[in-house]
């Protein structure tokens, strides 16, 4: 994978956000790391990035339970642009609710459902897919 790839992390837990960002930086695989604290902020930021650079991030990691817009709100709105999106979205969550996992699979552009904590090896594996 070339380093010019971009990734977006949507996570409201500051500690987990920093940890994930540091692990991603450690891989050296991404030239740009975008971070957002909720789904609405992420949706608006990603659309602005698309407008500015004519591209969506290559990877999006999204937590389920967040304030303002949760993952489902984000995915519902983002699905309107899914035909233009060629990247990969992974849900990364502490939820053990089987309903959440089943719901995630209803979005064809969601490539995986990962339970926290996600280690460095797993991140490298999904970035290499």
Q: Sketch the domain layout of the chain as residue ranges.
A: 5-127
The pTM assigned to this predicted structure is 0.92
**63-96 burial, b if ≥16 CB within 10 A, otherwise e?**
bbebeebbbbebbebbeeeeeebebbbbbbbebe
104 closest CA partner among 70, 81, 127 = 70
Q: Tell me the per-residue pLDDT of 90-107, one tens digit each, with 9 for 90 and over.
A: 999 988 889 999 999 999
Q: Where are the alpha helices (DSSP H) in 28-119?
A: 39-53, 71-78, 98-104
Q: Taking 70 as the threshold, does the pLDDT of residue 4 lie above it?
A: no
Write the burial class of residue 15 (CB in 10 Å: 0-12 exposed, 13-18 middle, 19+ buried).
Answer: exposed
Distance CA(3)–CA(106), nearest Å, equals 31
Q: Which two tokens stand for residue 81?
A: 């642009």
Q: How many residues does the chain have?
A: 129
Beta strands in 4-129 (DSSP E): 5-10, 30-36, 59-62, 88-93, 110-115
pLDDT digits (tens, 9 = 90+) for 25-82: 998 889 999 999 999 999 999 999 999 999 999 999 999 999 999 999 999 999 999 8
For residue 19, give both structure tokens.
Answer: 């940890």
Partners of 36 in the β-ladder: 10
**What is the homologous superfamily of the domain 5-127 according to CATH?**
Response regulator (3.40.50.2300)
């Amino acid at each position: 994978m070339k380093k010019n790839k971009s990734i977006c992390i949507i996570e409201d837990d500051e500690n987990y956000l920093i940890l994930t960002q540091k692990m991603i930086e450690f891989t050296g695989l991404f030239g740009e790391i975008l971070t957002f604290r909720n789904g609405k902020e992420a949706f608006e930021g990603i659309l602005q990035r698309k407008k500015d650079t004519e591209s969506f991030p290559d990877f999006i990691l999204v937590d389920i339970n967040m304030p303002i817009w949760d993952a489902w709100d984000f995915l519902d709105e983002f699905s309107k642009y899914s035909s233009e999106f060629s990247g990969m979205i992974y849900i990364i969550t502490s939820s053990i609710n089987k309903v959440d996992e089943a719901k995630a699979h209803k979005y064809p552009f969601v490539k995986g459902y990962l339970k926290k904590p996600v280690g460095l090896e797993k991140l490298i594996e999904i970035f290499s897919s």
